[in-house]
Structure 1
Amino acid sequence: MRNTMTHRVTITLDAETFAFLNDVASSNRSAYVNQLLKQDRKNFLQAALRKANQEEAEDTNYQEKLQAWESTLSDGLAND
């Protein structure tokens, strides 16, 4: 389910940034800023996931436990 609630915010931009926003956003600055923030959030989450994966890969204790569990994959159960 998509959250359709919107919120109004007031931000302060310098003149150069405001002019750029007006140039690139056409008539819908809110949609443009919203899209930029969504992309930045996606980038942030991807970076956090990469960091967590890297930490997991470097954790030798975890890797040893993972190997022990992976040995149960061939326990004779059907893979349907």
Structure 2
Amino acid sequence: MTHRVTITLDEETFAFLNDVASSNRSAYVNQLLKQERRNSLQAALRKANQEEAEDTNYQEELQVWESTLKDGLSDV
């Protein structure tokens, strides 16, 4: 599904878009927005991982569960 959007660009930005987008401005803008979304998600994941690594209570809880990983299993 696609949607139509109307945006306003200044003269310089519009000229740049025309230069780099070839004949399909919509595809170019769509690609830029998808990349920005990926960047945003990656930043959120990095932040969440950093917060997890700094959470001492969580790390202690992980250590408790770590000891149960091989419960009843032999080293083969």
Coarse TM-score class (shorter-chain normalised):
over 0.9
CA distance in 1, matches of 2:5, 2:74: 55
Match of 1:70 in 2: 66
1:27 equivalent to 2:27? Answer no
Match of 2:43 in 1: 47
1:12 equivalent to 2:8? Answer yes
Return the offset for 1:78.
6.5
Q: CA RMSD in A?
A: 1.3
Identical columns (%): 88
Aligned residues: 75
CA distance in 1, matches of 2:73, 2:47: 34
User: Could you tell me the TM-score, scaled by structure 2's length?
Assistant: 0.94
CA distance in 2, matches of 1:64, 1:26: 55
